[in-house]
A and B are shown apart, each in its own frame.
Chain A
Amino acid sequence: EVQLVESGGGLVKPGGSLRLSCAASGLTFRHAWMTWVRQAPGKGLEWVGHVKSKPDGGTADFTAPVKGRFTIFRDDSTNTVFLQLSNLKTEDTGVYYCATSFFPPRALRTFYFFDNWGQGTLVTVSS
């Protein structure tokens, strides 16, 4: 069974930084594209970004509102993915979920859905 456990959320002032972690088990981590999705309080879901597996290039990509402020990196030796949040804004407040990418059978490894999710960690940006 795949388990994803996020940590690192908390209260931070606008302009501040935070690092979220996601520890994974029950999957072949080095082959997985690891993703982050967030949800503002009482709102819908927003894809934040992903880091590809190293065999697929190991690069990261992000949604436009966070580009240049967030980074994602992975440690395949500890099955952990990290989301570094910098220059935080109040609109970044929400629950941040770690999720694994799901490529349907016979699909190209480009666009994906999300099949396993962690319980989320709350980030609150407020003065």
Chain B
Amino acid sequence: DIVLTQSPATLSLSPGERATLSCRASQSVNRYLAWYQQKPGQPPRLLIYDASNRATGIPARFSGSGSGTDFTLTISSLESEDFAVYYCQQRSNWPLTFGGGTKVEI
């Protein structure tokens, strides 16, 4: 199985700051990586797919980059609604796998 390791586990920032989240794969996933946001009591929401493409309705402050084994999700200027847990997920091979998550907290 492809293991996705997210870092840091927790990111403590203030509104208006820049957030940089990392996802590292145990083997190359090409660019077949997505990012999701999950708030307490809610299902995940697709933010970025295939490393750098924003999903429908996602604000431009969210951007993704990377390829191979190293990926980054950047939130350029944190809004209050962005404090949540973020997961990466690969679609390079079965089983589809998720990272362990990064919590972005105030």
For residue B95, CB closer than 8 A to chain A, the reply is: yes
Known: A117-B43, A117-B44, A120-B43. A47 touches B95 (CB 8 A): yes
Q: Please measure, in the bound complex, the distance between the C-alpha atom of A97 and the C-alpha atom of B87, giving whole angstroms.
A: 15
**Closest A residue to B56 using CB positions:** A115
- CB A23 to nearest CB in B, in angstroms, measures 15
A102 touches B49 (CB 8 A): yes
Q: Which residue of A lies closest to B1 (CB)?
A: A64
Which residues of chain A come closer than 8 Å to B42, judged between CB atoms? 119
CA–CA, A64 and B94, complex, Å = 10
Asked whether, in the complex, the Cβ of A44 is within 8 Å of the Cβ of B100, the reply is yes
- A25-58 residues at the B interface, CB under 8 angstroms: 44-47
Residues in A whose Cβ lies below 8 Å from that of B64: none
Q: Within 8 Å of chain A (Cβ to Cβ): is B34?
A: yes
Interface size bracket, B side: 20 to 34
Interface assignment of B50: CB less than 8 Å from any CB of chain A: yes
**Contact residues in A for B98 (Cβ distance below 8 Å):** 44-47
Minimal beta-carbon separation of B50 from chain A (angstroms): 5
Q: State whether the Cβ of B55 lies closer than 8 Å to any Cβ in chain A.
A: yes
| B33 smallest CB distance to A (angstroms) | 9
- B-contact 0/1 string along A97-112, CB 8 Å cutoff: 1010010100100011
Known: A64-B95, A112-B91. A44 touches B46 (CB 8 A): no
Can you name 6 A-B pairs with beta carbons within 8 Å? A44-B87, A47-B95, A47-B98, A111-B92, A111-B93, A117-B45
